[in-house]
Amino acid sequence: MPLLTIENLPDAAVPVPAGATLLAALQTAGHDWMHACGAKGRCTTCRVQVLLGLENLSPPTEAELRYRAAGRLLPSERLTCQARLLTGAVTGRVPEATQLPHVQYATNG
């Protein structure tokens, strides 16, 4: 099964079932992840910085392409509510701007 690892979260090696978004997999694994618009691709609060394995994700959605064009989503970032891990593995980080105050994040990965 494809695997998502979030290097600045403890115990964040998350199996991603076929067809599931990264956000759904993270939530199923018990991780609290910001998503202000309710996982509808209408904001950028659920973004993840992809460090390795960007090519293993589904192509960017129309929402992600709009945010990139507007300068609100970097080419190395994806929205967890939109991206699906198709094969292999992805390693990422929770961006500082979207870290939740009640979650303990590692300061270095």
- Asked if residue 36 has pLDDT above 50, the reply is yes
- Asked if residue 109 has pLDDT above 50, the reply is no
pTM recorded for the entire structure: 0.93
Q: What are phi and psi of 50, to 5 degrees?
A: -90, 120
Q: What is the pLDDT of residues 53-104, one digit of tens each?
A: 999 999 999 999 999 999 999 999 999 999 999 999 999 999 999 999 999 9
- Has domain 3-98 been given CATH number 2.40.37.10? no
Q: Is 57 left (phi over 0), alpha (psi -120 to 50) or beta?
A: beta
- Asked if residue 19 has pLDDT above 80, the reply is yes
Tell me the two tokens of residue 6. Answer: 């979030």
- CA quadruple 34, 35, 36, 38: dihedral positive or negative? negative
What does the DSSP 8-state code read for residue 56? G
Report pLDDT for 13.
Answer: 93
Alpha carbons 98 and 28: distance in angstroms, whole number: 19
Q: What single letter denotes the amino acid at residue 48? A: V
Residues 15-39, mean pLDDT to the nearest whole number: 92
For the chain, which residues make up each domain, given as ranges? 3-98
- Please return the burial class of 4, using the count of CB atoms within 10 Å of its CB with bins 0-12, 13-18 and 19+: buried
